[in-house]
Amino acid sequence: MALQLTASEQAALAQLEAHGSPSQARRAAVILRSGNGISAAAIARELGISTQQVYYWRKQWTQHKLDIFAPLPPSEQPATPAVAPPETARPGLDVPRLPLELRETVGLLPDDPMAEAGRKVLHFHFERMLFHEPGVRLGEDIEHVHDMRVATRRMRSAFRLFGPFFDKKTVRPLVRGLRRTAQALGAVRDLDVFREKAQRFVAEHPGLSLDPLFVTWQADYDAARQALLAELDSKRFARFVQRLHTFATTPGMGARTVAGDGVQAQQVRYVAPRLIYEHYERVRAYETVLDNASLTTLHALRIEFKRLRYTVEFFAEVLGPEATLVIKEIKIMQDHLGDLNDTQVAAEVLEDFISQHRRDHSGVPQFLREDIGGVLAYADAKAAEQRHLLETFPQVWANFNREEVRRSLALAVAAL
């Protein structure tokens, strides 16, 4: 049933959709389209949100009208995000569950022991994970899921990099908790990416429809989002957050001691160069197998580039200024290989959809079958995109391996 809107309400909503913040614009769009009798599924598809969010804001509108647009959530305040005091920070609301400092830098020093350097890195990204949790729960801006997932990925990489300097029994349950959280976020984020790229294709090809695909993805998205919220609401996640917070804020906790009388490098200035060049070595080693490399090999290279990037970024504060160029060039490679991997995942998803559609319509006369011509065209477009990325890969690889990048990496590390 369509929402009943007065002329003044429609005018106010139109203003908010055109000139409000991103969250305000989306809420206004939901109410305006609901006033026009558009279904929740269609609104969710168009705006890239879940049907649950559409129903939620419809209900909020009937109870509060224009009051649903004020105040802005913390993630959209123009000033530095406010830190909620412990007594008011409760999960499920619009504030982080713990008080946050949200420092602009990690605060790494060349003479930091590696265990404490790792703790600083973990604390930095742990706070960003918690900061984006309220936005993830709200579900209006897909970038919150992306940013929270990135924070978990960086922490998992930090544990991999700094892990040898900690006791395994201490960090093992923390790594497991991160893995669970990353998987729940990843299920939602992957569908966000699928839908975003598919919507872009539809916008560029207005004569084609991907509605059958969007309907399937919407059901999958709602299930994935429900599972994510269940994880965030669980006592298990609350215990994990508290344990990780204690670990990240307690100097010396879980740090391994140097056994015996031998000298063992522990400080950042001595260990970081080796770690950076070990990851650089793993990337460059692929040069020997890249001729006609399989997509599986290129996917493995993408992972190595990601780990190299995170390693350089973790130590960037104590490296020379040339590290900025190195990170930029690594990101170019990572993005190219990431786009290539996305085309492969999309191809598999589309192939499964098309095969399932053909099985479901086996024996059904052609004129009664649901038209999936748009889906077939989209599959062809993704295949063409994959061919282009493969054809241009050698050029991107050669650009990364140029002398300027190698020299910049050496100069950045030499600062230690």
Is the model's pLDDT at 59 over the cut of 90? no
Query: Domain extents for the chain?
Result: 7-69, 110-249, 268-414
Structure tokens at 60: 């909020």
Residue 334 one-letter amino acid: Q
Q: How sure is the predictor about 94, in pLDDT bands with cuts at 50, 70 and 90?
A: low
Q: Which residue has the tokens 């282009």?
A: 388
Q: How sure is the predictor about 96, in pLDDT bands with cuts at 50, 70 and 90?
A: confident
Average pLDDT in the chain: 88
Is the model's pLDDT at 83 over the cut of 80? no
Q: Report the percentage of the chain scoring pLDDT > 90.
A: 63
Angle, vertex CA 72, rays to CA 203 and CA 41, nearest 5: 35
- pLDDT tens digits, one per residue of 229-281: 999 999 999 999 999 999 999 999 999 876 655 557 789 999 999 999 999 99
CATH dotted code for 110-249: 1.40.20.10
- DSSP letters for 208-236: ---HHHHHHHHHHHHHHHHHHHHHHHSHH
Q: Which residue has the tokens 């560029």?
A: 204
Is the model's pLDDT at 74 over the cut of 60? no
What pLDDT, on the 0 to 100 scale, is given for residue 76? Answer: 39
56, 50 Cβ separation under 8 angstroms: no
From CA 162, how far away is CA 159, in angstroms rounded? 5
- pLDDT tens digits, one per residue of 363-413: 666 656 678 899 999 999 999 999 999 999 999 999 999 999 999 999 999
What pLDDT, on the 0 to 100 scale, is given for residue 261? Answer: 58
Cβ neighbours of 245 (radius 10 Å): 16
What pLDDT, on the 0 to 100 scale, is given for residue 80? Answer: 36
Residue 280: which of 321, 317, 326, 314 has the closest Cα? Answer: 326
Angle, vertex CA 31, rays to CA 25 and CA 35, nearest 5: 140
Q: In CATH, which superfamily holds the domain spanning 268-414?
A: CHAD domain (1.40.20.10)
Q: Report the percentage of the chain scoring pLDDT > 70.
A: 90
Residue 355 one-letter amino acid: S
Same topology between domain 110-249 and domain 268-414:
yes
Structure tokens at 150: 């990135």
Give, as one character, the DSSP assignment of residue 410.
H
> Could you tell me the pTM of the whole model?
0.78
- pLDDT tens digits, one per residue of 322-351: 999 999 999 999 999 999 999 999 999 999
Give me the mean pLDDT over the 170-198 stretch: 94
Choice between 160 and 84, residue whose per-residue pLDDT is larger: 160
What pLDDT, on the 0 to 100 scale, is given for residue 75? Answer: 41
Instruction: Identify which of 11-15, 59-63, 160-164 has the greatest average pLDDT.
Output: 160-164
